[in-house]
Structure 1
């Protein structure tokens, strides 16, 4: 069965190629950083929960294999975000703590904004996990202002 070629009309013309490509560049950059931020934030959460951040726990919480975690931990060490001690867990460096805090704040803002729109707690938590890595500082600030105006 042949599909009809339906075009979607735009209200505005395509932006200049350089301006247009900037949005795609930012998305690719956010995608690259999202996994690193997820690991660092989870490590901070495990440590703050009173436990060590062990490779086995990280793998279980992220739903990935231990070799996958080991590879990422090597990368995080190389980037100066975590340190590892033999026969111990993983620890955040100062840079790792900073990244975890920034990531957590973005997540909490996005989740609170979604909740303020009436999104269920579970859906807001899940959706915020993806959105937090792609949202700009300008948009986060707009979320905060919108929540302040709501009764």
Structure 2
């Protein structure tokens, strides 16, 4: 006969809702962060960040990329030049750097736990957007102790 788990008491409604609010906010920001981080990577790799390359690397259609680039431009994160690629503004560069730092921390933490490099890279891509600064600090402390 299977064991039944004892139900946990629900947290206070305000505390409970805060967790869901933070998750929704992270989801909204994740796409923006993925785009600006990829644009930064393409530029740093010595190439222009072209719409066709962004679409190929994200596995989405070019019209999807065009729509997001318009949003990023409206938010002041990228600039676009006719017949040229996409460029990050100072604000966009800051978002890319912060996102990359979170990604590197999460990936390094997963590797310390014994996760394979490929799986750690893929998993970090999702986790990086949802992890709090407190948790990142704990990850960094763990990495420092393990290293």
Q: What is the TM-score normalised by the length of structure 2? A: 0.95
Figure out how many residues of one structure are paired with residues of the other and give that number.
145
The correspondence for 1:101, drawn from 86, 97, 101, is 97
Deviation at 1:38, TM superposition (A): 0.2
Cα deviation digits, residues 68-119 of structure 1 (max 9, x gap)? 0000000000000000000000000000000000000000000000000000
Between the aligned partners of 1:124 and 1:46, the Cα distance in structure 2 is: 21
Structure 2 unaligned segments of length 5 or more: list them. none
Match of 2:6 in 1: 9
Q: What is the TM-score normalised by the length of structure 1? A: 0.93
Match of 1:126 in 2: 122
Match of 2:136 in 1: 140
Structure 1 unaligned segments of length 5 or more: list them. 1-5
Match of 1:54 in 2: 50
- RMSD after superposition: 1.2
Structure 1 runs of 4+ aligned residues shifted over 4 Å read none
Between the aligned partners of 1:28 and 1:7, the Cα distance in structure 2 is: 31
Could you say what secondary structure the match of 1:87 adopts?
Answer: coil
